[in-house]
Amino acid sequence: MRISSDRLANGISVVTHQPSIISGTAFQPIPGTEFQPISGTGFQPISRTQFHPRPVCRTPSVGRSGWVLGFITLIFVCAYAPAQQSKENSEFKLAVGLFKDGMYDLASDQFKNFISAYPNTADGIEARFYLGQTQMKLKKYDEARITFQNFALAYVDHPKAPEAWFNVGEAFLALNNEGDAASAFERVKVFHPKSPIVPDALLKAAELHRRRGERESAKQALHTIIQDYPTSKSVLSARLAIGELYADEGQIELAEQESRRVSESDAPPAVQAAALFSLGKLQASACLFDDARATFNTILTAHKEAPAATAAAFEMGKLEAG
């Protein structure tokens, strides 16, 4: 930029800007920076702004090819999800089919591969339970125990979690570990008190406690069934079991009470017959032979088709012979 001076009539020089070319760019005087007179000070530059060359910015535009690519990608994603789900469903059905057909070795491998491929899907979680069942069929009881226990702990809210704990008990029982089996059966009640399989699990636990001489633990499990699950079909079996415990302890009167409650209930005929048989045995052990004969005779006449009828006939023969 060149600065020239023009002399006016009053002898005052005015400085003017002349455009110049610097590196190919034309610089023009910036509006507001002209020299203007200020009273008493001569001419001073008044600058309202500074000049900064601005780079030219262009907004990138999406061409037709970009839109086409995006559309194709969307179609691919929409088509891939159902295809993937269909593949998963087919593989799961294959594994379940192998299990149901009794091909347990192949089913085990298929379930393991499926779990590895789909660890967190609904079918992937279900496959873990099936794997435990497959291991039980293969008599790999320790592996099954671990599989079911991991399932029960990891998926507490799964509908099959109570059954998983029950199966842990069955696996321990198959390993001849009655103590841990009883504890596993009792965990069904601890973790899933509203499950319909709790009474059956407690019956199992009570029987194991009784075998191990843990009579109080057995009674506690049986009383829990009677008190907490009064409408369960297992209540009658629990009463019979408690009656047997009382009989073992010599508490014949209490044992008879439990047997009568069952025999006089609306239980199925086979259960009533079993209760009567227990009662007859108690009466015979207490030397109440006439009462025992009457009880056994009731079984032979009113419940002659029940499994207990054969045993009742045998006991009746012993009484007659004695």
pLDDT in tens, the chain (322 residues): 444 444 444 454 444 444 444 444 444 444 544 444 444 444 444 444 444 455 544 545 545 555 555 554 555 445 445 656 788 899 999 999 999 999 999 999 999 999 999 999 999 999 999 999 999 999 999 999 999 999 999 999 999 999 999 999 999 999 999 999 999 999 999 999 999 999 999 999 999 999 999 999 999 999 999 999 999 989 999 999 999 999 888 888 899 899 888 888 888 899 889 999 988 988 888 888 999 999 999 999 999 889 999 999 999 998 888 6
CA–CA separation, 257 vs 20, rounded Å? 122
Residue 111 belongs to some domain of the structure: no
In this predicted structure, what is the pLDDT of residue 44? Answer: 47
In this predicted structure, what is the pLDDT of residue 267? Answer: 83
Q: What is the CATH number of the domain that holds 313?
A: 1.25.40.10
Residue 307 belongs to some domain of the structure: yes
Burial classification of residue 217, based on how many CB atoms lie within 10 Å of its CB (0-12 exposed, 13-18 middle, 19 or more buried)? middle
Alpha helices in the chain (DSSP H): 64-100, 104-117, 122-137, 141-154, 161-174, 178-191, 198-211, 215-228, 234-248, 252-263, 269-285, 289-302, 308-321
Residue 71 belongs to some domain of the structure: no
| Domains held by the chain: number | 1
In this predicted structure, what is the pLDDT of residue 266? Answer: 84
Please give the residue range of the domain that contains residue 310: 233-322
CA–CA separation, 243 vs 225, rounded Å? 14
- Residue 12 burial (CB count, 10 A): 12
Residue 105 belongs to some domain of the structure: no
Contact 128, 163 (CB under 8 A): no
Contact 149, 158 (CB under 8 A): no
Residue 120 belongs to some domain of the structure: no
Residue 288 belongs to some domain of the structure: yes
In this predicted structure, what is the pLDDT of residue 30? Answer: 46
Tell me phi and psi for residue 13, to 5 degrees.
Answer: -95, 135
Helix (H, G, I), strand (E, B), or coil: what is residue 15? strand
Residue 60 belongs to some domain of the structure: no
In this predicted structure, what is the pLDDT of residue 82? Answer: 60
- Residue 1 burial (CB count, 10 A): 11
In this predicted structure, what is the pLDDT of residue 51? Answer: 43
CA–CA separation, 281 vs 259, rounded Å? 11
CA–CA separation, 235 vs 221, rounded Å? 11
CA–CA separation, 149 vs 161, rounded Å? 9
pTM: 0.69
CA–CA separation, 88 vs 95, rounded Å? 11
Residue 237 belongs to some domain of the structure: yes
Contact 259, 279 (CB under 8 A): yes
